[in-house]
Amino acid sequence: MRLPIDPQADRARRAWVPCPGCDDSRDCVTCADRRNCGDHWRYLIANEGARVHLQCPGCTHTWTLDTRPGRRGPSG
């Protein structure tokens, strides 16, 4: 089931991280070079300190990412 885009989503607040739901950036040269790609960005919905809440505009997957050093994986 595909979720709707979060009402808090704003194109002005974006993040460039891989989506764990669809991995749409896996073959993108721009993303592989760790540059800001015009196609593979995520909505930055909110943050709580170092934890950011994201949504992929492509597959609408939502997740939380802990951005502290050494804690780059999705968190509960």
pLDDT tens, position by position, 13-49: 999 999 999 999 999 999 999 999 999 999 999 999 9
Q: What mean pLDDT do residues 57-62 have?
A: 94
pLDDT higher than threshold 60 for residue 76: no
Range of the domain at 53: 14-75
Provide the number of structural domains found in the chain.
1
In the prediction, which pLDDT does 74 show?
59
Instruction: Give the predicted TM-score (pTM) of the model.
Output: 0.83
- What is the layout of strands, in order, in the sheet containing 51-55? 14-15, 42-48, 51-55, 62-66, 74-75
Query: Within a domain: residue 2?
Result: no
Query: Within a domain: residue 40?
Result: yes
Main-chain dihedrals φ then ψ at residue 63, nearest 5 degrees: -160, 165
Query: Within a domain: residue 67?
Result: yes
CA 35, CA 76: separation in Å to the nearest integer? Answer: 27
